[in-house]
Structure 1
């Protein structure tokens, strides 16, 4: 583990990702390591994060959340004219960029009242109160589409299995054995310290197991000739080399 942090409960996971990314990159750079890909669950999905990772040239393997629809049903997008075309051939053109209730950037498209007047699909498309069709599309639609295409690749499926086998067990160990099932501290700084101590204990345990396994493996692969030479030297010191020289040397 190269980074851990505690955040307030009113922050979404997607809002915490930029800070996690910055801290992780700085720590990896201390070991002369880079960051080429990022794996996370769907809670870290947002258009802003996709755009940030593309700017840093980091491949994002973050599942797209279920609220993303891509566009209104039955409408097709014309990239050259930047408009949405309805089943009747009418165009909803781009008007402005706004902030949604969830504080995310959106692009708004509108048809004209004359286009929708007399349309046979008006009741199902607009409803009773609207006079024209309004379409709200995320500002980062292209980033979402590229993420969806990336997640459909063979490498993405392999990365998902890697995350399940490598990352998820770490959370289980921290929660069940390192005292992180509940944070009984006051203040964000105290919670951050507790998580840092748990991460240090986890890394120390991994380091001890790694060193122990290396030492045992080295003993198993020791050459036979070297063992015989050491045994002969031991016999010489005991002045018994002459009796056993014929059988060992």
Structure 2
């Protein structure tokens, strides 16, 4: 939830000119994808798998046609736009008259009225943009960099500095523990860097 506001704060406070970010699958939400695209920040976010009910087609089996604003099912029937809900999801529904005699019905929906409904967020194009970034050559290189840097820092904090569990309760106390852990890690990095400079000199 607070990711974009924290990103903006870091850029404003420290003067960071952020060109690209690499995030894990927990950040793959339409607001974050939209926010990064509008900020012109190249985003690579890990893929998150959603498993449909056993035996049913996954969503990617339904092809979206942006020109006609509809989905096409695996049996080549059209799911036409119906409405948009308050959360920004467009609903595309099939024609029950086609579906009830379809040989793929059992793999498509379990609804009693034989109607298949597929939803698509109004900002889904931004999520598609992030997916394409992840599959690009530069995107793959960037995501590898994330595993080599950020994840190692988290692992170090958890394994060596007691960051696996919070020692005290309350936001203020947890923030203090997080900041002290970061201070210790930065001191270690500074000591290693100074040692290298001394050896070079």
> 1:155 offset after TM fit, Å?
1.6
TM score, norm. by length of structure 2: 0.82
> 1:127 offset after TM fit, Å?
3.5
User: Quick check: which has more Rg, 1 or 2?
Assistant: 1
TM score, norm. by length of structure 1: 0.68
* Partner SS state of residue 164, structure 2: coil
The superposition leaves residues 195-244 of structure 1 with CA deviations (integer Å, 9 ceiling, x where unpaired) of 111112221222232223223312xxxxxxxxxxxxxxxxxxxxxxxxxx
RMSD, aligned α-carbons: 2.6
The superposition leaves residues 81-128 of structure 1 with CA deviations (integer Å, 9 ceiling, x where unpaired) of 1011335554222122225xxxx6421012344444654544553436
Query: Relative to 1, partners in 2 of residues 1:98 and 1:123: Cα closer, same or farther, differing over 3 Å?
Result: same
* Partner SS state of residue 157, structure 1: helix
Match of 1:23 in 2: 9
* Partner SS state of residue 148, structure 1: helix
Which runs of 5 or more residues in structure 1 are unaligned?
Answer: 1-14, 219-249
Which runs of 5 or more residues in structure 2 are unaligned?
Answer: 53-57
Aligned residue-pair number: 196
Query: Relative to 1, partners in 2 of residues 1:187 and 1:113: Cα closer, same or farther, differing over 3 Å?
Result: same
> 1:35 offset after TM fit, Å?
0.6
Query: Relative to 1, partners in 2 of residues 1:90 and 1:175: Cα closer, same or farther, differing over 3 Å?
Result: closer
Query: Relative to 1, partners in 2 of residues 1:113 and 1:158: Cα closer, same or farther, differing over 3 Å?
Result: closer
Q: Supply the distance in 2 between the matched residues of 1:151 and 1:192 (Cα, whole angstroms).
A: 32
> 1:39 offset after TM fit, Å?
1.4
Match of 1:94 in 2: 81
